[in-house]
Amino acid sequence: MTDIFTPETGAARLDVDTSSDSVALPKAVNATVGTTIRVYNEGPGTAFVNFGGSDVTATIGADKATGTGIPVAAGRETGFRLKNALATHMAAICDTGDTAQLFVTMGDGI
């Protein structure tokens, strides 16, 4: 049975604009059982996120479907389950003219 989300860290903040930037995840990913990551986009624009090592970047494809970023809409929270211990950072980018403020919290559950 999956528990409701139980946070294990405080939130890391990432201010996003049209240049890919990244923030270190608040704790290590548990590669054995996985770690839930919740990303809240305070807005006002949609942010596109990607997870990886310290050199990770997020991109937006010209057709919005071919980039490396996963969209997180303004005012929304999206959950991810990571099992790759090499994922130490989250990168994000916004489309032209947009900005966003993201908060990433790690824990367990949904």
pLDDT at res. 1 = 54
pLDDT at 96: 86
Tokens 């947009």 label which residue?
98
Q: What is the CATH number of the domain that holds 61?
A: 2.60.120.20
pLDDT at 52 over 80: yes
| 95, part of any domain | yes
Beta-carbon contacts of 32 under 8 Å, excluding residues fewer than 6 positions away, are: 83
Is the pLDDT at 42 greater than 80? The verdict is yes
Q: How confident is the model at residue 55 (pLDDT cuts 50, 70, 90)?
A: very high
pLDDT at 65: 65
Q: Which domain holds residue 28?
A: 6-108
Q: What total of structural domains would you count in the chain?
A: 1
- DSSP secondary structure letters along 84-98: -TT--EEEEEE-TT-
pLDDT at 2 over 70: no
- 41 found inside a domain: yes
With respect to residue 1, please indicate whether it lies within any of the assigned structural domains. Answer: no
Domain-located, residue 87:
yes
Decide if 92 contacts 58 (C-beta within 8 A).
yes
